[in-house]
Amino acid sequence: MCLHSRPTAFAVIQEANLGTQSRKWENSAYGAIWSGQAVNLHLLYSILSSCCTQARTQCQHSRPAAKMAMSSILNIDDIKKALDAFKAADSFDHKKFFEMVGLKAKSAEDVKKAFHVLDADNSGFIEEEELKFVLKGFATNGRDLTDKETKAFLKAADKDGDGKIGVEEFAALVHE
């Protein structure tokens, strides 16, 4: 288990780097504000834990707390039905999925919000590594896409051929 999921992580970092005096913290995965100074907690976490340094993606614990849940954009029952419909490996169809979850009928602003939920590393793009876990972005019990499904999804969305999906490409794919 990584330190991000331990309640004592901030205490460890505080004690190791700033002493044990009482201080007011405003926490996030990327930093903390202490008396007006930014402290790079993500760097400290990377040193203390290897979970965030694997591949190019972050562990689930280091995602910003302010990140919106997909259930605040879409109906939870629609999400469950769509995930159930594509439960079997190699059954994923992005067009049908986006329609079933109700994303296709949503405003451009809501589609953009959904994109940012799926952009796990906050890079402004959904890379192939993130795309494999796209169903988990809709619900934590979503399955991983197979390599075949991931590559097909990327091929359908990546119109400029850069190997990743930008917000405009995602919106175009959703509204196909």
| Digitized pLDDT (tens) for each residue of the chain, 176 residues in all | 343 333 334 333 433 444 433 333 344 443 444 333 444 444 444 444 434 434 334 444 444 433 468 999 999 999 999 999 999 999 999 999 999 999 999 999 999 999 999 999 999 999 999 999 999 999 999 999 999 999 999 999 999 999 999 999 999 999 99
Q: Does 153 show up as a binding residue in the annotation? A: no
Q: Does 90 show up as a binding residue in the annotation? A: no
Whole-model pTM: value is: 0.63
Q: Does 78 show up as a binding residue in the annotation? A: no
Q: Does 77 show up as a binding residue in the annotation? A: no
Range 99-105 contact pairs with CB under 8 angstroms and sequence separation of 24 or more: 101/74, 101/75, 101/138, 102/74, 102/75, 102/78, 103/73, 103/74, 103/174, 104/174, 104/175
Pair 128, 154: CB distance under 8 Å = yes
Smallest CA-to-CA distance from 63 within 42, 49, 47 is with 42
Pair 64, 18: CB distance under 8 Å = no
DSSP state of 110: H
